[in-house]
A = this chain, B = another copy of it.
Amino acid sequence: MSDPTARLDEMLAKLRERHFRITPQRLAILETLAVSDGHPSVESVFAEVRKKFPTTSLATVYKTITLLKELNEVLELGFSDGSNRYDGSKPTPHPHMICTRCKKIIDPDLTSLEQLTREASQKTGFKIVTQRLDFFGICPECLQEKTSG
């Protein structure tokens, strides 16, 4: 999708602009979020960052992600079962396709979402600020597997 290096630079620029410090731990967290296109969980970010900085705490990962959310530099895909996932490569709200078998999450490009949003606004009188759209199902790869889970 977007260039990971460019995204990392954008994130760093935003931090500097707001005078937040760029610590080694933060840099590692930003890198992980900017590079991964797999919508990582907090735990997987934590595990990744620990490879470089073994003393990093979970609290720091949470704090940094909270900061990035406030700066609109990461998109949180919250699920009520606590399996939250994060998208740092494309931080603006967009639809997701979620495979309920392998847990993969991909970003579809849907042209008719704009039309749907317009319809929703017209029919309800809401001033729509943002939206969240998830499709749940089975991805092509899992569909090919004979054995059903």
Contact = CB atoms under 8 A, between A and B. Distances in A.
A78 interface: yes
A110 B133 contact: no
Nearest to A131: B135
A119 B128 contact: no
A73 interface: no
Interface residues of A, number: 43
Contacts of A59: none
Kindly report how many copies of this chain are found in the complex they form together.
2
B133 A131 contact: yes
From DSSP, what is the main secondary structure of chain A's interface residues? mixed
A106 B117 CA distance: 15
Interface string A127-141: 111111111111110
Nearest to A111: B119
A62 to B, nearest CB: 13
A139 to B, nearest CB: 6
A97 B120 contact: yes
A84 interface: yes
Nearest to A139: B126
A139 B121 CA distance: 10
Nearest to A138: B127
